[in-house]
Amino acid sequence: MEIKIENISKKYGKKTVLSGVSFSAESGECIGIVGGNGCGKSTLLSILAGVRRADGGSFSADGEDLFSDRKRLSSLIGYVPQGTPLLEELSALDNLRLWYGREELKRELKDGTLKMLGIDEFLRTPVRKMSGGMKKRLSIGCSMAKDPTVLILDEPTAALDLICKEQIREYLSAHKEKGGIILLSTHDESELRMCDRIFVIKDGTVNETVYQGDAKALAEIF
């Protein structure tokens, strides 16, 4: 599969946040999106996930326009925003039941995505009592309910401990290996190393850059 993002633009009032953003990705690729705070990373990812609408531009998969087919978009995309869109008073299990069928949930907890993420270890825990890492893993698990090809993540391991970061990275690597596509906003060095290509958003536009193992040097580009 190939996805193409072409000439995405977005304004808030008179402020231009995105202006002609274009890039593409193929099966098995992880694309890193980096930039300074407020540069438009989260706006771009939320547009591609169908949460916000662009003022202009297109998003296609193998030539099929996804912005005009929201049902196809939602089946293709798994989206994990910076926050955790979970129901705080429900347990992990009850949140999962909102996304998975009974047999599918049982299978995934036994030897699937949810098992890989370690969610089976805290099924009865209410979201309000979870650590940040548990919430993030549960959010990723919920987003994968439809087995999406394209996974969009907005700083998925920010402020998490090393063990949790490693669990999430292992899952992302497995998603790549089976032909999935990952669009990832991050400043984490280990995640940057996992990216096949990296694009910097600056002044509303996007340009590809080369990452040579130094996140501090990369930050100077912003």
Pick the CATH number of 2-85+147-219 from 3.30.70.20, 3.40.50.300, 1.20.58.390, 3.40.50.10440: 3.40.50.300
pLDDT at 163: 79
Neighbours of 180 (CB within 10 A): 21
Amino acid 188: pLDDT? 84
pLDDT, residue 211, reads 73
69-85 burial string, b = 16+ CB within 10 Å, else e? Answer: eeeebeebbbbbbeebe
pLDDT at 219: 66
- Each residue of 29-49: pLDDT tens digit? 999 999 988 899 999 999 999
Q: Phi and psi at residue 198, in whole multiples of 5°? A: -130, 135
Overall residue count recorded for the chain in this entry: 222
What would the mean pLDDT of 105-126 be, rounded to a whole number? 92
What's the average model confidence in pLDDT over 8-35?
95
pLDDT digits over 34-92, tens only?
998 889 999 999 999 999 999 999 999 999 999 999 999 999 999 999 877 899 999 99
Q: What is the pLDDT of residues 148-183, one digit of tens each?
A: 999 999 988 876 778 778 888 888 898 999 999 999
pLDDT tens digits along 121-136: 999 999 999 988 889 8
d(CA 220, CA 86): 35
Transcribe 134-155 into DSSP letters.
HHHHHHHHHHTTT--SEEEEES
Domain ranges of the chain: 2-85+147-219
Mean pLDDT of the chain: 90
Look at residue 185 in the predicted model and tell me its pLDDT: 94
Pick from 155, 153, 140: nearest CA to 183:
153
Whether the predicted pLDDT of 220 surpasses 90: no
For residues 95 and 86, the answer to whether their CB atoms sit within 8 Å is: yes
Distance CA(16)–CA(86), nearest Å, equals 31
184 by DSSP, 3-state: which? strand
